[in-house]
Amino acid sequence: MALILGIESSCDETAVALVRDDRTVLAHKLATQEAHHRPFGGVVPEIAARAHVEAVGPLVEAALAEAGVSLADVDAIAATAGPGLIGGVLVGLMTAKGLAYAADKPLIAVNHLEGHALSPRFADADLAFPYLLLLVSGGHCQLLLVGGVGHYRRLATTIDDAAGEAFDKTAKLLGLGFPGGPAVEAAARAGNPKAVPLPRPLKGSREPHFSFAGLKSAVARAVEAGIYTREDIAASFQQAVVDCLIDRTARALETLDNDVTALVVAGGVAANGAVRISLEELAIARGLPFVAPPLWLCTDNGVMIAWAGAERFAQGLTDPLDTMARARWPL
Ligand code: KG4
Ligand code: ZN
């Protein structure tokens, strides 16, 4: 049985996990930087990188201590090597390289998107390839046909903002603070999703791509109008995002002739209850199983990187010590 140490540092969470390939989590340590970035209303890359430097060493030590193992017991060291804020990615990847060199263990450079894409297989041991994945995070909004470890076909992406970005910008417009997604979801619970007329960009178009910039501008106009409550705007915005995600996912299923094992969602926005419920309804309507990781596994964490490392390690996929950190790295 392989034991993998995973390190995540591509945005504003420093996370370290020790995961066995039988899906046992021996340790998971996570330091969020939310308080550092809140005064700025968004993640400040330079502050993030410095906070990762401070956090990562102690988190590795704490994870090993919690699991009661030493580096010698670990089979491979996995770290996010991109895409993400490059200063933070460098911190995690260089830490992993140092540990791998010192302990003479293989390095596994994980694409952060692959971490999200494979996390549902950590949550559900029965989830087989190929599955249709809606990957919705702060930086990405994609539909991927996940054919196997390292085999990803991108069917659609956003032509402007990511879904999580739209949630964050809406939160800012509504004065709901940072991070935006959970705050908008909480406000939406007290609002009427039909109160504010908002557009559904690209709904009904043949290609299953996404667009959220127009929706954000419409939210800004609704705020300026001064006639709607914050809760109604939040609820109407969330409903518009859900409608777009469902329409585009349904279109992708059509182009695939439903020929997948399951409909799967991952990434930070997959933590949203309205998104999960509507996707599950779509899956049921198409006769497909629906798989969504538990909420803690949707937002950035160390377990998904360790797990992707375990999946790659099982395929013999390891990386040399001169592997580059990449700010951009399409799957
Ligand atoms: O996957 P993630 O943790 O980081 C990236 O790789 O981007 O996703 C973060 C994004 C943020 O935009 C955040 O606002 C959004 O996921 N998010 C949510 C919820 N929780 C997090 N969006 C909507 N509803 C939520 N409950
Ligand atoms: Zn992420």
Average pLDDT of the residues in 142-146: 98
* Ordered strands of the 13-20 beta sheet: 25-32, 13-20, 3-8, 76-82, 107-111
Q: Which of 110, 167, 275, 328 has most ligand 1 atoms within 8 Å of CB, for mutation?
A: 167
Please classify residue 76 by burial: count the beta carbons closer than 10 Å to its beta carbon, then call 0-12 exposed, 13-18 middle and 19+ buried: buried
Q: Whose CA is nearest to atom 7 of ligand 1?
A: 138
- How far away, in angstroms, is 310 Cα from ligand 1 center? 24
Please list every protein residue whose CB sits less than 6 Å from any atom of ligand 1: 11, 137-139, 164, 167-168, 179-182, 185, 267-269, 271-272, 299-300
Q: Fold for domain 129-295?
A: Nucleotidyltransferase; domain 5 (3.30.420)
Calpha distance 114→149 (Å, rounded): 8
Tell me the per-residue pLDDT of 50-104, one tens digit each, with 9 for 90 and over.
Answer: 999 999 999 999 999 999 999 999 999 999 999 999 999 999 999 999 999 999 9
Provide mean pLDDT across the span 6-11.
Answer: 98
Nearest CA to ligand 1 atom 3: 299
For residue 248, is pLDDT > 90?
yes
Cβ atoms within 10 Å, residue 258: 12
Name the residue at shortest CA distance from atom 19 of ligand 1. Answer: 181
The helix/strand/coil state of 28 is strand
Within 10 angstroms of residue 34's Cβ, the number of other Cβ atoms is 12
Residue 41: pLDDT band with limits 50, 70, 90: confident
What is the DSSP code string of 106-118?
-EEEEEHHHHHHH
Q: Report H helices in 104-212.
A: 112-123, 163-173, 180-188
Closest approach atom of ligand 1 to CA 299: 3
94 touches 81 (CB < 8 A): no
Q: What is the pLDDT of residue 42?
A: 85
**Max intra-chain CA distance, the chain:** 63
Q: List, for residues 110-142, the tens digit of each pLDDT value.
A: 999 999 999 999 999 999 999 999 999 999 999
Which helix (DSSP H) or strand (DSSP E) does residue 246 occupy? helix 230-255
Question: If you take atom 13 of ligand 1, which residue's CA is the nearest one?
Answer: 181
The two domains 3-116+298-314 and 129-295 share their CATH topology (first three levels equal): yes
Ligand lying nearest the CA atom of residue 297: 1
| Cα-based angle 133, 139, 141 (whole degrees, multiple of 5) | 35
pLDDT at 16: 98
Tokens of 64: 């090993």
Q: Which pLDDT band holds residue 40 (cuts at 50, 70, 90)?
A: confident
Nearest CA to ligand 1 atom 10: 138
Best residue among 9, 10, 137 to mutate for probing ligand 1's pocket (most ligand atoms within 8 Å of CB) is 137
| Dihedral of alpha carbons 84, 88, 92, 94, sign | positive
Q: Give the residue extent of every domain in the chain.
A: 3-116+298-314, 129-295
Alpha-carbon dihedral of residues 63, 65, 66, 72, nearest 10 degrees? Answer: 70
User: Average pLDDT of the chain?
Assistant: 97
Q: Which fold has domain 3-116+298-314?
A: Nucleotidyltransferase; domain 5 (3.30.420)
How far is ligand 2, taken at its centre, from the CA of residue 6, in Å?
14
